[in-house]
Amino acid sequence: MMNSLHEGAPTLIRREDYAAPAFLIDSVALTFDLDPAKTRVLNQMRVRRNPDVPAQALRLDGEDLNLARVLVNGAGTSFKLDGQQLVLENLPEGTEPFDLEIFTTCAPASNTQLMGLYVSQGTFFTQCEAEGFRRITYFLDRPDVMASYTVTLRADKATYPVLLSNGNLVEEGALEDGPNGPRHYAKWVDPHKKPCYLFALVAGQLVRREQKIIARNGQEHTLQIYVRAGDLDKTEHAMNSLMASIAWDEARFGLPLDLERFMIVATSDFNMGAMENKGLNIFNTKFVLANPATATDVDYANVESVVGHEYFHNWTGNRVTCRDWFQLSLKEGLTVFRDQEFSMDMVASASARAVKRIEDVRLLRTAQFAEDAGPMAHPIRPDQYQEINNFYTLTVYEKGAEVVRMMQTLVGRDGFARGMRLYFERHDGQAVTCDDFAQAIADANPDSHLALLLPQFKHWYSQAGTPRLHSQGEYDADAQTYTLTLSQSCPPSPGQPVKAPFVIPVAVGLLDAQGQDIPGTARTVVLSDTSASVVFEHVPSAPVPSILRGFSAPVVLQHAYTDAELLTLLAHDSDAFNRWEAGQRLALRLALAAIQADGDVPTEPLDSAYMDAMRAVLQAPQLDAAFKELVLTLPSETYIAEQLDMVDPQRIHAVREAMRLQLATALQTDWAHTFESHHDNGAYRPDPVSSGRRALVGLALHMLCLAARHSGDPVWPGKAYQRVKDAGNMTDRFQSLSALVSSGHELATAALERFHARFQREELVLDKWFALQAGAPDHGGHILPMVQQLLTHPDFHIKNPNRARSLIFSYCNANPGAFHRADGAGYTFWRDHVLAINAFNPQVAARLARALDRWRQLAEPYRSAACAAIEHVAAQPDLSNDVREVVTRALAD
Ligand code: B3K
Ligand code: ZN
């Protein structure tokens, strides 16, 4: 039976039911006797009644704990257990503080959920956000209860030489010997009050990289990154990223590091990317470890952005935290915005900034737009949930970041910095709401559109769904004016059939027929009504409008561009985002035409105008390689599917494959030239210029291998194989392997074997090896049997989330052409693995469950088969709350 099984109907938690806590906890002293099988936790709290709330019983949250003792002011007291809560009714009256001592035990070694205190490869770790602290001790497990923490860790010295918790190490030393030999302890005091979700401890055998830095005010800080022995040579990039993050937050927002000591610890077993525990960030190894031999350019970029993200939480999340979990985007949307800005500020050129923006928008439009159109759609500030862990979503994070970005657009960059200062002046040390944040930004900019339209702007917080921005232009040659009429609508989402208009900042500029910017036309139009017109004066000839530049709002732009206009934008727009976007629109248009045409999939879906444009991009000397790679990459199958009311995944797959093959064969000479002129650019450096070159070389090699598979020419596959053997870095090596695998070339098998043999002791590289195979293009249904075979591979471990994701998620979530099989076998696989994982790790299972969110959109026979698989899961009696919520919502009308 599931440990976290909640009896009866799952409860729905509602935002409107928020009530302040009846008790406050001023301080907590925790003493841990760490033992994998049975860890003893002594929790000594200083508690008082909240004077603002009517007197009532104290209800402490707990989960999977063994309770041994409860003392109030040193004496025994009556208590009862109500479900998982510990209820204390006979507490001292009045508002004087009292001592509450609770002694419990828990079993970290059998904690497979990886929430609370658990063991990974012999080391203790914690994960408390959102509600994991209750699995460590009884507590008011809610973010608006902030306390001072003192933590004493006691353990066997040989097995657990390193003992870490939040804050400063104030004492350490030997204890009396235990049955396994010498024992020791360490005592940590966190100088900052914090909610319990930011508590952390780590105990085990770790080595560290250390760096001292001097802040602007002259204060010294110690930065440490803890990893397993053998991984130290993979920590330099994370340390550099951390130092850059600290410097950036001081320079851009005036926010200094407020701790003497800042630690990052890496673990292989982690449900998500990383966690911002105060002063003791815990990271998935995937987002810390990187060296040129094992990590790709994408890994390097991810490490920088996740290290930045967690560090930035120190102010946006930790110093100012959330009042309740409905406010999650307060910290997550804002912190994603900050990490995006950080990554952009780290690169020198405008075009590298644009590349980062395109990548962020591509993720948003592919995955978040799909979420916003499906059964799990929710506003960035949700109104209700059954399981909060299901709401750590692309909507809360990525769309939340877009909402913050729109605020910055509306008040300007300086105005936004001013707003941030006011936010911290008002709320430092508090647990607050999204309203408080928006109010601070608006109040610091009283004359801005944001301040004038604030209540309406906040519809972005309360309404789900992706708005449609309709646009129409009319040129008046006599008056030399161009009138752009903008209007908005938003499709219904669960529980929200009708939407009020949003405030949409639309960055616009006009191009002349030669593609040059028409002076004086660039502006940001703020659409707040259902529709509005804007007139551009002194427009000498019919212009081409460049609308929603830089993707200035998270909307779907609908404008009836002609192909000629899109080609002009692609060739000339001074806004790099819209240049890329024009190419995507052209490709999408051709893809949709081929998908919707009757009869067989055309062998050449792309027209000559498109091919010529792509050739021109590839040959353009002034364009960056990274940008070329983005333009030459076709819209994904998932993105294409989102444009259709009825989805035939196999048809989409076949059309996109035909398009890829056409690009590969028709531009073969250009690909070869691109490869030759960009490859092998010296010693590995992860900067945007060299990583852009490598990305373009990788795409070229993919294309050349794809063309070769059809022509039978052995030259390029031979080169790719050679690079798998002797590439100087993982980016080149992995791209070469991937080119062979995704073109389905016969050399792929030998290359995969060679790669595996070489990296069999590198967990993160093996994850790539599994993911590559599970995510490869399907040829005649070969992927599923191969995935099933890989499940039995000695290196496959389903309980390790990274490994489960690399094989099972790569197949179900990231390979639509292989997953959606006419025989429904992909869905059966999904069903069985959702249930298998549900039995030991509900959070990971619920993520996998999301793979069938969009089943209603599917054509037959997929739709019925998917529905049956979901119904099968929903019918199980022992589902976790996490999975239950996802499948129930999927099946709801
Ligand atoms: N705040 C954590 C996420 C916690 C997820 C809990 N299910 C990481 C982050 O967003 O920085
Ligand atoms: Zn975060």
Q: Which residues of 734-744 are buried (b: 16+ CB within 10 A; e: fewer)?
A: bbbbbbbbbbb
Distance CA 443, CA 466 (A): 28
Asked whether 86 lines ligand 1 (CB < 6 A), one says: no
Which residues of 157-200 form beta strands (DSSP E)? 162-165, 168-178, 181-189, 194-195
Task: Note the pLDDT tens digit of each residue in 179-210.
Answer: 999 999 999 999 999 999 999 999 999 999 99
Residue with CA nearest ligand 1 atom 5: 129
Distance CA 397, CA 394 (A): 5
With pLDDT > 90 as the criterion, what percentage of the chain qualifies?
Answer: 98
Task: Note the pLDDT tens digit of each residue in 502-536.
Answer: 999 999 999 999 999 999 999 999 999 999 999 99
CB neighbour class for 598 (10 Å; exposed up to 12, middle 13-18, buried from 19): exposed
Asked whether 392 lines ligand 1 (CB < 6 A), one says: yes
**Residue at 345: amino acid letter:** D
Residue with CA nearest ligand 1 atom 4: 129
User: Which residue shows structure tokens 């024992």?
Assistant: 183
Distance CA 669, CA 677 (A): 12
Gap from CA of 557 to ligand 1 centroid (Å): 31
Q: What is the mean pLDDT of residues 125-149?
A: 98
- For residue 397, the ligand 1 atom closest to its alpha carbon is 10
Strand-pairing partners, residue 472, are 485
**Residue at 93: amino acid letter:** E
Whether the pTM exceeds 0.85: the reply is yes
Q: Which residues contact 398 (CB under 8 A, 6 or more apart)?
A: 336, 360, 363, 364, 367, 368
SS3 call for 761: coil
- For residue 313, the ligand 1 atom closest to its alpha carbon is 11
* Nearest by Cα to 380 from 440, 462, 441: 462
- The DSSP annotation for 37-86 comes to S-EEEEEEEEEEE-TTS----EEEB-SS-EEEEEEETTEE---EEETTEE
> CA-CA-CA-CA torsion for 50, 54, 57, 62, nearest 10 degrees?
-50
Gap from CA of 124 to ligand 2 centroid (Å): 22
Gap from CA of 767 to ligand 2 centroid (Å): 23
Distance CA 666, CA 630 (A): 18
pLDDT band at 13 (very low <50, low <70, confident <90, very high): very high
Q: Which residues contact 265 (CB under 8 A, 6 or more apart)?
A: 125, 164, 202, 206, 225, 226, 227, 280, 281, 282, 283
Q: Give the chain's domains with CATH numbers.
A: 1-105+134-157+165-191 (2.60.40.1730), 321-462 (1.10.390.10), 468-560 (2.60.40.1840), 760-893 (1.25.50.10)
Contact 434, 370 (CB under 8 A): no
With pLDDT > 70 as the criterion, what percentage of the chain qualifies?
Answer: 99
Task: Note the pLDDT tens digit of each residue in 557-607.
Answer: 999 999 999 999 999 999 999 999 999 999 999 999 999 999 999 999 999
pLDDT band at 8 (very low <50, low <70, confident <90, very high): low
Asked whether 275 lines ligand 1 (CB < 6 A), one says: yes
Distance CA 330, CA 322 (A): 7
- For residue 310, the ligand 1 atom closest to its alpha carbon is 11
**Residue at 401: amino acid letter:** A
Q: Are strands 207-214 and 13-14 parallel, antiparallel or unpaired?
A: unpaired
Residue 663 is predicted with a pLDDT of 98
**Residue at 309: amino acid letter:** H
Contact 793, 753 (CB under 8 A): no
What is the SS3 assignment for 691-738? Answer: HHHHHHHHHHHHHHHHHHHHHCCCHHHHHHHHHHHHCCCHHHHHHHHH
Alpha helices (runs of H) in 224-265, residue ranges in sequence order: 236-253
Task: Note the pLDDT tens digit of each residue in 720-731.
Answer: 999 999 999 999
Residue 6 has pLDDT above 70, yes or no: no
Ligand nearest to the CA of 272: 1
DSSP state of 316: B
Asked whether 882 lines ligand 1 (CB < 6 A), one says: no
Distance CA 88, CA 203 (A): 32
* Residue 571: count of CB within 10 angstroms of its CB: 16
Asked whether 356 lines ligand 1 (CB < 6 A), one says: no
Helix (H), strand (E) counts: the chain: 31, 32
Residue 407 has pLDDT above 60, yes or no: yes
User: Which residue shows structure tokens 């209800």?
Assistant: 59
Distance CA 778, CA 654 (A): 10
SS3 call for 515: coil
DSSP state of 849: H
- The rounded mean pLDDT for the chain is 97
Distance CA 363, CA 339 (A): 15
Q: Compute the residue count for the chain.
A: 893
Distance of CA 545 to the CA centre of its chain: 33
Residue with CA nearest ligand 1 atom 8: 275
Distance CA 581, CA 565 (A): 12
DSSP state of 517: B
DSSP state of 121: T
The secondary structure element, H or E, covering residue 32 is strand 23-33
Q: What is the mean pLDDT of residues 637-665?
A: 98
> CA-CA-CA-CA torsion for 11, 13, 19, 24, nearest 10 degrees?
80
Distance CA 498, CA 511 (A): 36
Contact 59, 86 (CB under 8 A): yes
Q: What is the mean pLDDT of residues 877-886?
A: 97
Task: Note the pLDDT tens digit of each residue in 409-445.
Answer: 999 999 999 999 999 999 999 999 999 999 999 999 9
Residue 348 is predicted with a pLDDT of 85
Pocket perturbation via mutation, ligand 1, pick of 4, 114, 129 by most ligand atoms within 8 A of CB: 129
* Residue 175: count of CB within 10 angstroms of its CB: 14
Contact 315, 750 (CB under 8 A): no
Q: Please report, for residues 338, 488, 632, 818, 866, the alpha-carbon distance to residue 699 in angstroms, rounded to integers and kept in the order given.
A: 30, 38, 8, 21, 34
CB neighbour class for 244 (10 Å; exposed up to 12, middle 13-18, buried from 19): middle
494: alpha, beta or left? (left if phi > 0; alpha if psi -120 to 50):
beta
Residue 9 is predicted with a pLDDT of 63
Gap from CA of 575 to ligand 2 centroid (Å): 30
Compute φ and ψ for 284, nearest 5 degrees: -60, 130
* Nearest by Cα to 401 from 467, 314, 333: 333
- For residue 332, the ligand 1 atom closest to its alpha carbon is 10
pLDDT band at 682 (very low <50, low <70, confident <90, very high): confident
Distance of CA 546 to the CA centre of its chain: 29
* Residue 194: count of CB within 10 angstroms of its CB: 23
Laid out side by side, the sheet with 58-60 consists of 58-60, 85-88, 80-82
Contact 468, 556 (CB under 8 A): yes
861: cis peptide before it, omega within 30°? yes
Gap from CA of 146 to ligand 2 centroid (Å): 19
Compute φ and ψ for 33, nearest 5 degrees: -105, 105
Q: Please report, for residues 431, 713, 753, the alpha-carbon distance to residue 727 in angstroms, rounded to integers and kept in the order given.
A: 51, 22, 16
Please identify every residue annotated as catalytic.
Answer: 310
pLDDT band at 893 (very low <50, low <70, confident <90, very high): confident
Q: What is the mean pLDDT of residues 309-319?
A: 98
The secondary structure element, H or E, covering residue 595 is helix 576-596
Residue 871 has pLDDT above 80, yes or no: yes
Asked whether 389 lines ligand 1 (CB < 6 A), one says: yes
Distance CA 89, CA 55 (A): 10
Ligand nearest to the CA of 127: 1
Q: Please report, for residues 225, 285, 334, the alpha-carbon distance to residue 801 in angstroms, rounded to integers and kept in the order given.
A: 22, 12, 27
Q: What is the mean pLDDT of residues 247-262?
A: 98
- The DSSP annotation for 497-514 comes to SS-PPP-EEEEEEEE-TT
Q: Which residues contact 687 (CB under 8 A, 6 or more apart)?
A: none
Dihedral sign, Cα of residue 393, residue 398, residue 403, residue 407: positive
Give, to the nearest 10 degrees, the angle between helix 730-742 and helix 688-711. 30
DSSP state of 861: T
Provide Rg for the chain, Cα atoms. Answer: 28
Task: Note the pLDDT tens digit of each residue in 264-287.
Answer: 999 999 999 999 999 999 999 999
Strand-pairing partners, residue 155, are 184
230: alpha, beta or left? (left if phi > 0; alpha if psi -120 to 50):
left
